[in-house]
Amino acid sequence: MDSEYIDILHRCFRCGWCKLPTNYTDFNCPAYLQHRFESFSSGGRMWLIRAWVNGEIESSERFSEIMFSCVTCGNCVEACPMDKIKDRLVDVFISARADLVEQGKIPPALRDYFKAVTISGNPYKRPREERRLWAGGLDLEEYSDQEYLFYIGDVASYDEPGMRSARAIVQLLNEAGVSFGVLMDQEGNDGNDVRAAGETSLADHLARSNCEVFNQKGVKKIITVSPHAYNTIRKDYPAHGGNFEVFHYTEVLSLLIKKGLDAGRSSAKVTYHDPCYLGRWNKIYYPPRAIIGSIKGVTFKEMDRNMNNALCCAGGGGNFFTDILGTGPGLSSRVRVREAIATGADILCVACPQCYRMLDDALKAEAAEDRLRVMDIAELFVQSRK
């Protein structure tokens, strides 16, 4: 592990605040919420890593499970009272994971995830040529010299809910006259979740490959569907020669609304789930809410846990592709759906294709499809105009 992280391991005194939101309403750490063992909390994980680094415990299947159970949601960063370590908590966990990856001591599902991305270029093991299938029938141009590159990402390219999100965004960008193009099968995995899962060498390779393509094509500005892609392109790509202006689609759409894009009308009762990589990681809380608020007739119902206190859907850190946290009523996506239902909303809006799938699957697991519907904000916006 990085010596900087080793130097701060002893500073955690397990106060337990890392498990809670800052308003202390409920447990907010997805791994702890699922397992209810202190070792799965951020404080417990810090003490285990300290013992591991000091040679007091050895790597084991259980140790690996605990290390990779973190979904990198960042709740602990918000809740920790220790200013000198809080901002580096998730980095410590990722560094420990990187050591385990280097040693080959990782769960089989994670090994398969890395292998799929390495061989196929995506975790779905789908041919690269199929990256364009999401766009069937749409009026799209491949990127040449447009103002924006619209970066789709793996989940919106191959996963049905994400594909619906991407198609709705395209419809709105086209109507607003935004100049943009797409890469289709030249697009690659963004590397955010690969990095969060500890495979830093592969993540660096993916970043360099994408930067090479973007720079060759003269890309200056990028709009992303996924907050995960937004996060890594904005924060990690500059180290690999990729200096781009990056926007999440909700930022662009909220600006288009201010410029006169008609939002339409709806009688829906709507609540909104903050994606961790949009909210806690990048402090984008208001554009999604502004989009919802622009739709005439909508009743907006905020969940108790929102913005920096939002409960993660448990899809981050690679768990979306590996299911290391498992299933059951304690999975935070199912808890989140129950929280959304409790608001009286009939639509749960999302702004992340991973959140979309996680919460939609959770809704089915809760057998509550007659009480709530999961929709991307762009879909809701399009629907309100019909």
Kindly report, residue by residue over 214-265, the tens digit of the pLDDT.
Answer: 999 999 999 999 999 999 999 999 999 999 999 999 999 999 999 999 889 9
Is residue 111 domain-resident?
no
Residues 380 and 271 in one domain: yes
Pair 376, 267 in one domain: yes
Task: Please determine, for residue 12, whether its predicted confidence score (pLDDT) is greater than 90.
Answer: no
* Cα separation, 203 vs 285, whole angstroms: 27
Any residues with CB less than 8 A from the CB of 340 and at least 6 apart, and which? 271, 273, 303, 348, 359, 372
Instruction: Report the alpha-carbon distance of residue 54 to residue 38 in Å, rounded.
Output: 20
Q: Is pLDDT of 5 > 90?
A: no
Domain count, the chain: 3
The end-to-end CA distance of the chain, in Å, is 55
Residue 45 lies in a domain: yes
In a domain, 115, yes or no: no
Kindly state whether residues 132 and 225 are assigned to the same domain: yes
Q: Considering the domain boundaries, does residue 60 fall inside one?
A: yes
How many Cβ atoms are within 10 Å of 282's Cβ, its own excluded?
17
Same domain, 247 and 301: no
Q: Which residues contact 105 (CB under 8 A, 6 or more apart)?
A: 59, 64
Q: Note the pLDDT of residue 6.
A: 86
Place of tokens 């990589």: 277
pLDDT of residue 14: 82
Query: Considering Cα of 162, then 165, then 171, then 176, what sign does the dihedral take?
Result: negative
Is residue 296 situated within a structural domain? Answer: yes
Assess whether 9 and 101 both reside in one domain: yes
**Using CA atoms, how far apart are residues 228 and 234, in angstroms rounded to an integer?**
10
Q: Are residues 132 and 250 in the same domain?
A: yes
What is the dihedral angle through the alpha carbons of 102, 108, 113, 116, rounded to the nearest 10 degrees? 100
What's CA 271's distance to the chain center, in Å?
Answer: 18
Give the dihedral of Cα atoms 350, 209, 106, 93; nearest 10 deg: -60
Q: Say whether both 39 and 71 belong to one domain.
A: yes
Same domain, 48 and 166: no
Averaged pLDDT, 138-156: 95
Question: Domain check: are 102 and 141 in the same one?
Answer: no
Q: Sign (positive/negative) of CA torsion 68, 374, 189, 149?
A: negative
- Position 249 in a domain: yes
pTM recorded for the entire structure: 0.96
**pLDDT tens by residue, 283-300:** 999 999 999 999 999 999
Count H helices and E strands in the chain, helices first.
Answer: 18, 8
Residue 230: count of CB within 10 angstroms of its CB: 30
Same domain, 237 and 286: no
The residue range of the domain holding 63 is 3-106
Q: Are residues 316 and 351 in the same domain?
A: yes
Q: Which residue has the tokens 């288009």?
A: 256
Are the C-beta atoms of residues 366 and 337 closer than 8 Å to each other? yes
* Domain final position from 51, 79, 106: 106
286 and 215 within one domain? no
Amino acid identity, residue 47? W
Dmax over CA atoms of the chain, in Å, equals: 63
CATH of the domain at 360: 3.40.50.10700
Residue 23 has pLDDT above 90, yes or no: no
Which sign, positive or negative, has the C-alpha torsion 386, 354, 231, 139?
Answer: negative
- According to DSSP, the residues that pair with 247 across neighbouring strands are 223
